[in-house]
Structure 1
Amino acid sequence: MDKDWQALAQALRSARVAKGLTQAELAEAIGVSRTTLQNMEQGRAMVRATPSLRSAARVLGWPEGRVEAILNGQLSHEATPQEGTPSLYSIDGLPLRVRHELDGGVAIDTRVVELGHPNSSTRMIVILKQDEPGPVDPHELEAWSEVERALWQAIATSRGLE
Protein backbone atom coordinates (compact mmCIF):
# COMPACT_ATOMS: atom_id res chain seq x y z
CA MET A 1 0.00 0.00 0.00
CA ASP A 2 1.27 3.46 -0.92
CA LYS A 3 1.94 5.93 1.87
CA ASP A 4 -0.23 9.07 1.93
CA TRP A 5 2.46 11.74 2.18
CA GLN A 6 -0.05 14.46 1.20
CA ALA A 7 -2.31 13.62 4.15
CA LEU A 8 0.71 13.70 6.48
CA ALA A 9 1.84 17.03 5.01
CA GLN A 10 -1.60 18.55 5.55
CA ALA A 11 -1.74 17.20 9.12
CA LEU A 12 1.72 18.62 9.91
CA ARG A 13 0.85 22.01 8.48
CA SER A 14 -2.50 22.14 10.31
CA ALA A 15 -0.93 21.10 13.62
CA ARG A 16 1.89 23.64 13.27
CA VAL A 17 -0.54 26.46 12.55
CA ALA A 18 -2.82 25.36 15.41
CA LYS A 19 0.18 25.51 17.76
CA GLY A 20 0.90 29.06 16.61
CA LEU A 21 4.33 28.17 15.23
CA THR A 22 5.89 29.54 12.08
CA GLN A 23 7.79 27.24 9.74
CA ALA A 24 11.02 28.87 10.90
CA GLU A 25 10.20 28.25 14.59
CA LEU A 26 9.32 24.58 14.07
CA ALA A 27 12.34 24.04 11.82
CA GLU A 28 14.63 25.53 14.48
CA ALA A 29 12.98 23.45 17.20
CA ILE A 30 13.71 20.20 15.34
CA GLY A 31 17.13 21.23 14.02
CA VAL A 32 16.43 21.42 10.28
CA SER A 33 16.33 24.19 7.71
CA ARG A 34 13.10 25.93 6.84
CA THR A 35 13.40 24.42 3.34
CA THR A 36 13.42 20.91 4.82
CA LEU A 37 10.28 21.69 6.80
CA GLN A 38 8.66 23.17 3.69
CA ASN A 39 9.37 19.91 1.87
CA MET A 40 7.69 17.97 4.68
CA GLU A 41 4.66 20.25 4.51
CA GLN A 42 4.45 19.91 0.72
CA GLY A 43 4.10 16.15 0.98
CA ARG A 44 7.18 15.14 -0.95
CA ALA A 45 7.28 11.37 -0.93
CA MET A 46 10.02 9.78 1.13
CA VAL A 47 11.19 6.22 1.49
CA ARG A 48 10.28 6.25 5.18
CA ALA A 49 9.43 8.63 7.99
CA THR A 50 12.67 10.41 8.86
CA PRO A 51 13.99 11.27 12.34
CA SER A 52 13.27 14.95 11.55
CA LEU A 53 9.68 14.11 10.73
CA ARG A 54 9.36 12.22 14.01
CA SER A 55 10.91 15.17 15.88
CA ALA A 56 8.32 17.49 14.33
CA ALA A 57 5.56 15.12 15.43
CA ARG A 58 6.91 15.14 19.02
CA VAL A 59 7.15 18.94 19.11
CA LEU A 60 3.58 19.14 17.82
CA GLY A 61 2.48 16.87 20.66
CA TRP A 62 1.51 13.86 18.57
CA PRO A 63 1.44 10.50 20.31
CA GLU A 64 3.74 7.70 19.18
CA GLY A 65 2.39 6.02 16.05
CA ARG A 66 0.36 8.96 14.71
CA VAL A 67 2.75 9.53 11.77
CA GLU A 68 2.36 5.91 10.62
CA ALA A 69 -1.39 5.97 11.20
CA ILE A 70 -1.78 8.99 8.92
CA LEU A 71 0.63 7.58 6.31
CA ASN A 72 -1.26 4.27 6.25
CA GLY A 73 -4.65 5.95 5.94
CA GLN A 74 -5.76 4.77 9.38
CA LEU A 75 -6.20 8.33 10.67
CA SER A 76 -7.13 11.29 8.52
CA HIS A 77 -5.63 14.67 9.19
CA GLU A 78 -9.14 15.89 10.10
CA ALA A 79 -9.18 13.33 12.93
CA THR A 80 -5.92 14.64 14.31
CA PRO A 81 -6.89 16.30 17.59
CA GLN A 82 -6.03 19.95 17.81
CA GLU A 83 -5.87 21.79 21.06
CA GLY A 84 -8.19 24.76 20.74
CA THR A 85 -5.55 27.26 21.71
CA PRO A 86 -2.24 27.83 20.01
CA SER A 87 0.84 26.65 21.85
CA LEU A 88 3.24 29.35 22.86
CA TYR A 89 5.82 26.88 24.15
CA SER A 90 9.27 26.02 22.85
CA ILE A 91 10.62 22.49 22.52
CA ASP A 92 12.01 22.60 26.09
CA GLY A 93 8.58 23.44 27.50
CA LEU A 94 9.27 27.09 28.22
CA PRO A 95 6.97 29.75 26.84
CA LEU A 96 8.48 31.14 23.63
CA ARG A 97 8.63 34.66 25.07
CA VAL A 98 10.63 33.33 28.07
CA ARG A 99 12.92 31.26 25.82
CA HIS A 100 13.53 34.40 23.73
CA GLU A 101 14.42 36.42 26.83
CA LEU A 102 16.73 33.71 28.20
CA ASP A 103 18.70 33.32 24.96
CA GLY A 104 21.93 35.25 25.26
CA GLY A 105 23.02 37.52 28.05
CA VAL A 106 23.89 36.50 31.57
CA ALA A 107 21.89 35.72 34.70
CA ILE A 108 22.79 38.02 37.60
CA ASP A 109 20.50 36.63 40.29
CA THR A 110 17.61 34.17 40.63
CA ARG A 111 14.89 33.31 43.11
CA VAL A 112 12.69 30.24 43.23
CA VAL A 113 9.52 30.64 45.27
CA GLU A 114 7.28 27.70 46.13
CA LEU A 115 3.65 28.67 45.77
CA GLY A 116 1.06 27.28 48.12
CA HIS A 117 2.15 24.81 50.76
CA PRO A 118 5.76 23.73 51.35
CA ASN A 119 6.88 21.09 48.81
CA SER A 120 4.23 22.33 46.37
CA SER A 121 4.73 21.31 42.76
CA THR A 122 4.13 24.89 41.64
CA ARG A 123 6.91 27.43 41.74
CA MET A 124 7.55 30.97 40.59
CA ILE A 125 10.98 31.54 39.12
CA VAL A 126 12.40 35.04 38.95
CA ILE A 127 15.53 35.67 36.92
CA LEU A 128 17.45 38.92 36.93
CA LYS A 129 19.25 39.00 33.59
CA GLN A 130 21.54 41.40 31.82
CA ASP A 131 21.81 41.39 28.02
CA GLU A 132 25.60 41.69 27.95
CA PRO A 133 28.25 40.30 30.31
CA GLY A 134 30.01 42.91 32.38
CA PRO A 135 29.55 45.08 35.44
CA VAL A 136 26.00 45.57 36.66
CA ASP A 137 24.71 49.12 37.02
CA PRO A 138 24.37 49.81 40.80
CA HIS A 139 21.02 51.56 40.18
CA GLU A 140 19.67 48.38 38.56
CA LEU A 141 20.88 46.29 41.52
CA GLU A 142 19.12 48.67 43.90
CA ALA A 143 15.94 48.43 41.83
CA TRP A 144 16.21 44.62 41.96
CA SER A 145 16.67 44.75 45.75
CA GLU A 146 13.49 46.81 46.08
CA VAL A 147 11.52 44.44 43.85
CA GLU A 148 12.89 41.43 45.73
CA ARG A 149 11.92 42.93 49.12
CA ALA A 150 8.40 43.69 47.81
CA LEU A 151 8.12 40.16 46.42
CA TRP A 152 9.07 38.54 49.73
CA GLN A 153 6.74 40.87 51.64
CA ALA A 154 3.84 39.96 49.32
CA ILE A 155 4.59 36.25 49.77
CA ALA A 156 4.73 36.59 53.56
CA THR A 157 1.45 38.54 53.57
CA SER A 158 -0.30 35.99 51.35
CA ARG A 159 0.81 33.20 53.68
CA GLY A 160 -0.38 35.08 56.75
CA LEU A 161 3.15 35.37 58.09
CA GLU A 162 3.04 39.10 58.52
Structure 2
Amino acid sequence: MLHNDPSSYVQLGAYSPIVLLNTLLFFCCKYFGFTTVEQHRQLSFTQLTCCTRTNLNHTRTTSLRFYPPTSTEAQPDGVPAKKGKKDNVENVLEMMENLENPLHCPVRLYEFYLSKCSESVKQRSDLFFLRPDRCCVPSSPHWFSSSPLDGDTMEAMLTRLLTVRELQDRR
Protein backbone atom coordinates (compact mmCIF):
# COMPACT_ATOMS: atom_id res chain seq x y z
CA MET A 1 0.00 0.00 0.00
CA LEU A 2 1.22 3.47 -0.78
CA HIS A 3 0.11 6.32 1.44
CA ASN A 4 0.81 9.93 0.54
CA ASP A 5 -2.39 11.41 1.83
CA PRO A 6 -5.89 9.97 2.24
CA SER A 7 -6.91 11.00 -1.28
CA SER A 8 -4.06 9.17 -3.00
CA TYR A 9 -4.17 5.66 -1.62
CA VAL A 10 -3.26 2.68 -3.77
CA GLN A 11 -3.35 -0.93 -2.70
CA LEU A 12 -0.75 -3.10 -4.39
CA GLY A 13 -0.84 -6.85 -4.65
CA ALA A 14 -3.05 -9.67 -5.87
CA TYR A 15 -5.95 -9.53 -3.42
CA SER A 16 -8.54 -9.33 -6.20
CA PRO A 17 -8.59 -8.99 -9.99
CA ILE A 18 -8.99 -5.21 -9.89
CA VAL A 19 -6.19 -4.78 -7.32
CA LEU A 20 -3.93 -6.93 -9.50
CA LEU A 21 -4.76 -4.84 -12.59
CA ASN A 22 -4.11 -1.62 -10.65
CA THR A 23 -0.78 -3.03 -9.49
CA LEU A 24 0.31 -3.95 -13.01
CA LEU A 25 -0.73 -0.51 -14.27
CA PHE A 26 1.19 1.10 -11.40
CA PHE A 27 4.36 -0.85 -12.23
CA CYS A 28 4.10 0.07 -15.92
CA CYS A 29 3.75 3.73 -14.93
CA LYS A 30 6.63 3.54 -12.48
CA TYR A 31 9.17 1.48 -14.45
CA PHE A 32 8.22 2.11 -18.08
CA GLY A 33 7.05 5.71 -17.67
CA PHE A 34 3.66 4.96 -19.23
CA THR A 35 1.07 7.60 -18.36
CA THR A 36 -1.57 7.19 -21.07
CA VAL A 37 -4.05 4.51 -22.04
CA GLU A 38 -2.45 4.42 -25.51
CA GLN A 39 0.95 3.57 -24.05
CA HIS A 40 -0.51 0.80 -21.90
CA ARG A 41 -2.39 -0.56 -24.93
CA GLN A 42 1.02 -1.17 -26.59
CA LEU A 43 1.63 -3.96 -24.09
CA SER A 44 0.77 -7.49 -25.11
CA PHE A 45 1.36 -10.96 -23.76
CA THR A 46 3.84 -11.69 -26.55
CA GLN A 47 5.90 -8.56 -25.89
CA LEU A 48 6.46 -9.15 -22.17
CA THR A 49 9.00 -11.75 -21.16
CA CYS A 50 10.52 -12.91 -17.89
CA CYS A 51 14.30 -13.02 -18.19
CA THR A 52 16.84 -14.40 -15.73
CA ARG A 53 20.52 -13.61 -15.83
CA THR A 54 23.44 -14.70 -13.69
CA ASN A 55 25.35 -11.88 -12.03
CA LEU A 56 29.11 -11.69 -11.52
CA ASN A 57 28.67 -12.94 -7.92
CA HIS A 58 26.81 -16.01 -9.30
CA THR A 59 23.41 -14.87 -8.00
CA ARG A 60 20.46 -14.73 -10.35
CA THR A 61 18.36 -11.70 -11.16
CA THR A 62 14.98 -11.90 -12.82
CA SER A 63 13.33 -9.09 -14.71
CA LEU A 64 10.26 -8.46 -16.77
CA ARG A 65 11.11 -7.07 -20.20
CA PHE A 66 8.88 -5.24 -22.64
CA TYR A 67 9.87 -5.38 -26.28
CA PRO A 68 8.10 -2.44 -27.98
CA PRO A 69 6.21 -3.06 -31.22
CA THR A 70 8.27 -3.21 -34.39
CA SER A 71 7.89 -0.05 -36.43
CA THR A 72 9.93 2.05 -38.80
CA GLU A 73 8.33 5.26 -37.54
CA ALA A 74 8.44 6.94 -34.17
CA GLN A 75 5.42 6.15 -32.03
CA PRO A 76 3.28 9.26 -31.35
CA ASP A 77 2.37 8.06 -27.87
CA GLY A 78 5.94 8.01 -26.55
CA VAL A 79 6.52 4.24 -26.66
CA PRO A 80 9.92 3.59 -28.22
CA ALA A 81 9.73 1.74 -31.53
CA LYS A 82 11.92 -1.20 -32.51
CA LYS A 83 13.86 -0.67 -35.69
CA GLY A 84 16.61 -3.20 -36.22
CA LYS A 85 18.19 -6.00 -34.26
CA LYS A 86 20.80 -3.66 -32.75
CA ASP A 87 18.14 -1.14 -31.70
CA ASN A 88 15.99 -3.83 -30.03
CA VAL A 89 18.36 -4.14 -27.07
CA GLU A 90 18.47 -0.36 -26.61
CA ASN A 91 14.69 0.06 -26.66
CA VAL A 92 13.80 -2.78 -24.30
CA LEU A 93 12.10 -1.58 -21.13
CA GLU A 94 12.70 -3.56 -17.96
CA MET A 95 11.27 -4.07 -14.46
CA MET A 96 13.55 -5.76 -11.97
CA GLU A 97 12.27 -8.22 -9.40
CA ASN A 98 11.79 -7.02 -5.82
CA LEU A 99 13.43 -9.63 -3.61
CA GLU A 100 12.93 -7.57 -0.47
CA ASN A 101 9.14 -7.49 -0.82
CA PRO A 102 7.77 -10.36 -2.93
CA LEU A 103 4.21 -9.05 -2.47
CA HIS A 104 5.25 -5.94 -4.43
CA CYS A 105 7.45 -7.73 -6.94
CA PRO A 106 6.49 -6.91 -10.55
CA VAL A 107 7.88 -10.22 -11.80
CA ARG A 108 5.98 -12.36 -9.27
CA LEU A 109 2.76 -10.42 -9.78
CA TYR A 110 3.08 -10.71 -13.57
CA GLU A 111 3.53 -14.47 -13.19
CA PHE A 112 0.46 -14.59 -10.93
CA TYR A 113 -1.51 -12.57 -13.50
CA LEU A 114 -0.54 -15.10 -16.17
CA SER A 115 -1.70 -17.93 -13.93
CA LYS A 116 -5.15 -16.30 -13.64
CA CYS A 117 -5.56 -15.85 -17.43
CA SER A 118 -6.75 -18.52 -19.83
CA GLU A 119 -4.16 -20.21 -22.05
CA SER A 120 -5.89 -18.81 -25.14
CA VAL A 121 -4.85 -15.22 -24.38
CA LYS A 122 -1.23 -15.84 -23.41
CA GLN A 123 -0.09 -15.95 -27.04
CA ARG A 124 -1.98 -12.82 -28.06
CA SER A 125 -0.01 -9.95 -29.52
CA ASP A 126 -2.89 -7.49 -29.38
CA LEU A 127 -3.85 -7.31 -25.70
CA PHE A 128 -2.56 -7.46 -22.17
CA PHE A 129 -4.94 -5.83 -19.69
CA LEU A 130 -8.02 -8.05 -19.50
CA ARG A 131 -11.48 -7.44 -18.12
CA PRO A 132 -12.09 -9.26 -14.81
CA ASP A 133 -14.60 -12.11 -14.93
CA ARG A 134 -17.83 -11.15 -13.22
CA CYS A 135 -18.21 -14.32 -11.20
CA CYS A 136 -14.68 -15.06 -10.07
CA VAL A 137 -13.70 -15.66 -6.46
CA PRO A 138 -10.12 -15.72 -5.12
CA SER A 139 -9.95 -19.51 -5.52
CA SER A 140 -11.11 -19.39 -9.16
CA PRO A 141 -8.57 -20.79 -11.63
CA HIS A 142 -9.22 -17.82 -13.94
CA TRP A 143 -9.90 -14.26 -12.84
CA PHE A 144 -9.98 -12.64 -16.27
CA SER A 145 -12.02 -12.91 -19.44
CA SER A 146 -10.43 -12.95 -22.87
CA SER A 147 -11.76 -9.42 -23.55
CA PRO A 148 -9.61 -6.33 -23.17
CA LEU A 149 -10.16 -3.93 -20.29
CA ASP A 150 -12.17 -1.04 -21.72
CA GLY A 151 -10.50 2.32 -22.24
CA ASP A 152 -12.76 4.25 -19.85
CA THR A 153 -12.01 1.88 -16.98
CA MET A 154 -8.28 1.99 -17.71
CA GLU A 155 -8.38 5.80 -17.94
CA ALA A 156 -10.11 6.03 -14.54
CA MET A 157 -7.55 3.66 -13.00
CA LEU A 158 -4.64 5.62 -14.49
CA THR A 159 -6.05 8.95 -13.34
CA ARG A 160 -6.16 7.62 -9.79
CA LEU A 161 -2.70 6.03 -9.98
CA LEU A 162 -1.07 9.17 -11.35
CA THR A 163 -2.03 11.04 -8.16
CA VAL A 164 0.40 8.87 -6.18
CA ARG A 165 3.38 10.95 -5.17
CA GLU A 166 5.85 8.21 -6.09
CA LEU A 167 4.69 8.44 -9.71
CA GLN A 168 4.42 12.24 -9.69
CA ASP A 169 8.02 12.51 -8.54
CA ARG A 170 9.19 10.36 -11.48
CA ARG A 171 7.38 12.58 -14.00
Classify the TM-score, shorter chain: under 0.3
More strand by share: 2
Larger radius of gyration: 1
TM-score by length of structure 2 reads 0.23
Q: RCO higher in 1 or 2 (8 Å CA, sep ≥ 6)?
A: 2
More helix by share: 1
TM-score by length of structure 1 reads 0.23
